[in-house]
Every structure is written in C-alpha cells, then in structure tokens.
C-alpha cells in the first residue's frame, strides 16, 4: 500500500541523514543555554522527538540545521517559562546591573572555562543571541526567524550581549566584538 508519505524505513533513513548529524552542535548549544547537562539532554531529546513528529513538514533542500535550532529555541523558551513560574517575583525584578560582575581586566591567558563562566553570567536572551550569531554563525535573518523577533531586535541584543560579555571579561575584547575567533569556538 502506498500513500502520500514515504515508507517508515525511508523516512527514518532520511531523518537520520539530515537531522542526526546536528545532534552534537544542538547539545552544545543547549548546554550553553542551560548550563546543566541533564537539562540539556532532556531538551535535546524533546527537540528530536518534535523534529521526528513534524519531519513530514520539513522541506527537503532547506536548512535542516536552522530548522532544528528553531525547534530548540521553542523548547528552551518553554523550559524558561516553566522555570520562571517557579521563581519568586522579587527575583524577577532584580536589576540587570546587580547580576553582572565586572572583572578588572582580561587575564593574559583567558581559558575556555573563564569564558564560559562569563558567558553563563549573561542574561539568557543575550546569551542565546550571542551563541547563535558568534558561535553557530547564523545570519541575523536566521536568528530572527528562530527567535521570532525582528532583525533589529537581534542586532540590538547582539550588540548589548557583546558589550555585556566584554564587561564580564573586564575589557573591550576584540575590535569586531566577536569572541568566537579569539577562542576558536
């Protein structure tokens, strides 16, 4: 019996060919977002379950990596909303200034752990945009689609994220604002 959908085996093979190769990158991004391996694994599992369920709507020949990251952004947003519901209102109202800790200067030998720690102290919205732009190298347009925000908001958040990261590291950083080139990330 043939129908509008390919056989389950062909669908499975196609999914494995186009979606599974991005698993490591997605996990790395989820780990950077959540800073908790167990939570990152849970979210990635949800991402791939959702991707499998909606794979019939994926358009072959389009950017599967961007499609998976969009699903990741939705799942991360869901997890954030759930977490915020459990927080006290006072914690939500804490000013951004009080959450940033400036360091006097960047050490001569900046380690990956130090950079990740500084990145982890950034607000989630800034961290997500910074990772997508400077580490994963998505375009502003792709990030805007993933985050479902205007391109101008992407550019503004990215600028603020880079400035906040420079403050966290205690310097103006690279001239182009990118930390990915400096660390090889």
Statement: residue 80 has pLDDT above 70: yes
**Domain membership flag for residue 3:** no
Q: What is the mean pLDDT of the chain?
A: 78
Q: Do 146 and 166 belong to one domain?
A: yes
Q: What is the pTM of this model?
A: 0.52
Statement: residue 83 has pLDDT above 80: no
Tokens describing residue 21: 């190769």
Residue 32's domain is classified under what CATH number?
1.10.1740.10
Counting residues of the chain whose pLDDT is more than 90, the rounded percentage is 29
**Domain membership flag for residue 43:** yes
Residue 96 burial class via C-beta count within 10 angstroms: exposed 0-12, middle 13-18, buried 19 and up: exposed
Domain extent for 58: 8-86
Residue 184: the pLDDT is 42
Q: Do 98 and 155 belong to one domain?
A: yes
Tokens describing residue 152: 């101008």
Q: Do 109 and 137 belong to one domain?
A: yes
pLDDT bracket for residue 104 (50, 70, 90)? very low
Q: Do 71 and 125 belong to one domain?
A: no
**Domain membership flag for residue 2:** no
Instruction: Over range 64-89, report the average pLDDT.
Output: 79
**Domain boundary, last residue among 64, 86, 108:** 86
Number of domains present in the structure of the chain: 2
Residue 98: the pLDDT is 57
């Amino acid at each position: 019996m043939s129908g509008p959908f390919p056989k389950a085996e062909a669908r499975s093979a196609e999914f494995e060919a186009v979606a599974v190769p991005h698993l490591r990158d997605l996990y790395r991004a989820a780990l950077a977002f959540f800073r908790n391996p167990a939570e990152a694994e849970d979210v990635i599992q949800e991402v791939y379950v959702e991707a499998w369920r909606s794979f019939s709507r994926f358009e072959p020949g389009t950017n599967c990596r961007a499609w998976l990251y969009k699903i990741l952004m939705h799942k991360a947003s869901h997890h954030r909303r759930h977490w915020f519901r459990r927080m006290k209102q006072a914690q939500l109202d804490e000013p951004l200034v009080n959450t940033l800790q400036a360091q006097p200067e960047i050490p001569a030998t900046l380690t990956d752990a130090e950079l990740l720690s500084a990145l982890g102290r950034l607000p989630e919205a800034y961290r997500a945009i910074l990772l997508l732009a400077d580490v994963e190298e998505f375009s502003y347009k792709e990030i805007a689609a993933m985050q479902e925000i205007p391109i101008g908001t992407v550019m503004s958040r990215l600028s603020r994220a880079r400035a906040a990261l420079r403050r966290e590291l205690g310097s103006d950083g690279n001239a182009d604002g990118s930390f990915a080139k400096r660390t090889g990330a």
